[in-house]
Amino acid sequence: MTLLWYAYAKTLGEKAAWEVAKESGLDLVAVNPSFVVGPLLTSQPTSTLELILSLTKASSLDMDCDTNLFGDQYGDVWRIALLNTKEKLQNEFANWIVLLEKHLLVTSRYPKQVIGFVHIDDVIAAHILAMEETKASGRLICSSAFAHWSDIMKMLKDKYPMYPFESKQGSTEGNDFPHSMDTSKIMQLGFPGFKSIPQMFDDCIQSFQDKGFL
């Protein structure tokens, strides 16, 4: 069984946000991005970019608390969950985080997974659109193309042969089924289109180089 704790936590977090919005009469629009890639906007890599950096250098992730491995990616879920006053939800969520820390990435093997990717610039643009477009409502799927991590690794190895890159694939079964996401709703609101996978990874690697991580 694959334990998708992060996806589960995000789902419960969003459900809590919709409950708060309904009770408070808020006009809520949810932007749901896939795996976010692009230039590093902070002094240290976020958890998603930490994964890409570790795969590029073929090294295990630094689990030191200074890297804030879970802070950026889970911070929004914490804020939403804490709005829900049910003590049980809060206690269970804390337990999930502990399990996540034990379950995630003490090895740098790339995931055996087909996944959607999206550029951070597109995620920002989608949030602005959700705030400014009066017709925006409900959930907006924000995702560019899909690819298997093995194809991503081959693309990066061919383009950046100076880096070692991880060559081993993870063994988790059941994560590599082809699938897609329907982005027609956000496109109908006037979204100009998504950046390509090569562009988002080029921007990511370039930012690692510029900030001295590579």
pTM for the predicted model, two decimal places = 0.74
- Both tokens of 30, joined, read 């949810």
- Report d(CA 25, CA 164) in Å as an integer: 52
* Domain range for 158: 5-210
Which tens digits make up the pLDDT trace of 30-58? 999 999 999 998 888 888 888 899 899 88
Instruction: Express each pLDDT in 115-139 by its tens digit.
Output: 899 999 999 999 999 999 999 999 9
Residue 177 confidence (pLDDT) above 80: no
Of 145 and 170, more confident? 145
Alpha helix stretches (DSSP H) within 27-119: 47-57, 71-83, 87-103
Total structural domains within the chain: 1
Residue 166's pLDDT is what?
Answer: 87
For residue 94, what pLDDT is reported? 55
Write the CATH number for 81.
3.40.50.720
DSSP state of 160: -
pLDDT of residue 95: 56
Report phi then psi at 166, rounded to 5: -70, 135
- Cβ–Cβ under 8 Å, residues 33 and 123: yes
Contact 41, 136 (CB under 8 A): no
Give the residue-averaged pLDDT of 90-95.
54
